[in-house]
Amino acid sequence: MLTFSPAAVDTEPAATLLGEYFTSRELGFTGGKYRVFTPDPAMFTPPAGVFLVARADDEAVGCGGVRRIADAEDGAVRFEIKHLWLRPSTRGKGYGRSMLTALEERAVELGATRLVLDTNATLAAAGGLYRSSGYVDVPAYNDNPNATNWYAKDV
């Protein structure tokens, strides 16, 4: 069974999981040099956001967070999903969808009316997960040099 618990991004096991995430992105990145942006812990602390660690059989296997960003021009309260990652050994078990759902639920609890995220086209499975979860392509809402695709979903 997969469980989720809040964690500060600069404490264990969240810091280790984020390190694994950044390493995996650097190794698989094909759009030039991947730029690592170390998350600010305050951005993932309620009410600004939350960071979750996923555990299976009491082993930390993944992480992800949501953080408040500027409201949309139409007044939607936006939260951004960041750093959703699961260890390769867990893939294909539906854990990514479970993590995404948990992050969406936390964002709604914090007041989100629209969720946004960005990703890179090389992460085809991630793009498929987002589209099958109701996210639609939108114009770039940030200047993330690692991103090629931007998505949004009203909640």
CATH of the domain at 106: 3.40.630.30
Q: What is the tens place of the pLDDT at every residue in 61-120?
A: 999 999 999 999 999 999 999 999 999 999 899 999 999 999 999 999 999 999 999 998
pLDDT at 56 over 80: yes
123: left (phi over 0), alpha (psi -120 to 50) or beta: beta
**Of residues 99 and 26, which shows the higher confidence score?**
99
Choice between 147 and 68, residue whose per-residue pLDDT is larger: 68
Question: Is residue 48 in some structural domain?
Answer: yes
31 is a domain residue? yes
Residue 150 domain-assigned?
Answer: no
155 found inside a domain: no
Domain with 71, as residue range(s), is 2-117
Number of structural domains found in the chain: 1
Summary mean pLDDT of the chain: 93
Is 124 within the bounds of a domain? Answer: no
**Distance separating alpha carbons of residues 67 and 51, to the nearest angstrom:** 8
Q: Is residue 15 part of a domain?
A: yes
**55, burial (CB in 10 Å: exposed 0-12, middle 13-18, buried 19+):** middle
Q: Please name which of 67, 38, 36, 68 lies closest in space to residue 51, comparing C-alpha atoms.
A: 67
Residues with Cβ within 8 Å of 137's Cβ and at least 6 positions away in sequence, in order, are: 149, 150, 151
* Model-wide pTM > 0.85: yes
DSSP letter string over 10-63?
TSTTHHHHHHHHHHHHHHH--SSSPPP-PPPGGGGSTTSEEEEEEEETTEEEEE
For residue 66, tell me if it sits in a domain: yes
pLDDT over threshold 70, residue 30? no
Decide if 108 is inside a domain.
Answer: yes
pLDDT of residue 97: 97
| pLDDT, position 118 | 95
